[in-house]
Amino acid sequence: MSHPQSYEILIVPEFTDDKAPGTEGARGDATGSSVRGAAAKGSDGGGPGAAIRSAVVTATGETGETGYPRYAGEGMVADIDPRTQSVEGLLIDGSELAYGLAARIAERDRTPRETDG
């Protein structure tokens, strides 16, 4: 199975993330260092739900401590389950995600250079 080579990770305030634990329709839990996210199309440019930080992460070819493929870039290191597109582990500038924040991901579109050969 081929895994996506890059994602965009969006950090949003948890109270605006409709898939965050404790909100209606939430799935899974966010115990320990695990962070659940939902696929996103990207930031809406401001207002409630807007990303407060984002980063493009690319596959490192390694498997993270969670057992999922590891992605890194722009100060973020994430273990992402490519099947469910959930962020299973995340470090931002070497620290765990702060309480009250949630991670969402969006699969990056491949550029023509990435799709060649």
- Angle value at C-alpha 75, between 69 and 78, nearest 5 degrees: 20
- Whole-structure pTM value: 0.67
- The 3-state secondary structure of 7-44, one letter per residue: EEEEEEEHHHCCCCCCCCCCCCCCCCCCCCCCECCCCC
**pLDDT tens digit sequence for 10-20:** 999 987 555 54
Collect all residues with Cβ–Cβ distance below 8 Å to 63 and sequence separation of at least 6.
Answer: 69, 70
Summarize pLDDT for 42-91 with one digit per residue, the tens.
334 556 678 999 999 999 999 999 999 999 999 999 999 999 999 999 99
Between CA 34 and CA 11 the distance in angstroms is 14
Which pLDDT score is estimated for 48?
Answer: 64
**By percentage, how much of the chain surpasses pLDDT 70?**
62
Taking the C-alpha atoms of residue 68 and residue 16, their distance in angstroms, rounded to an integer, is: 27
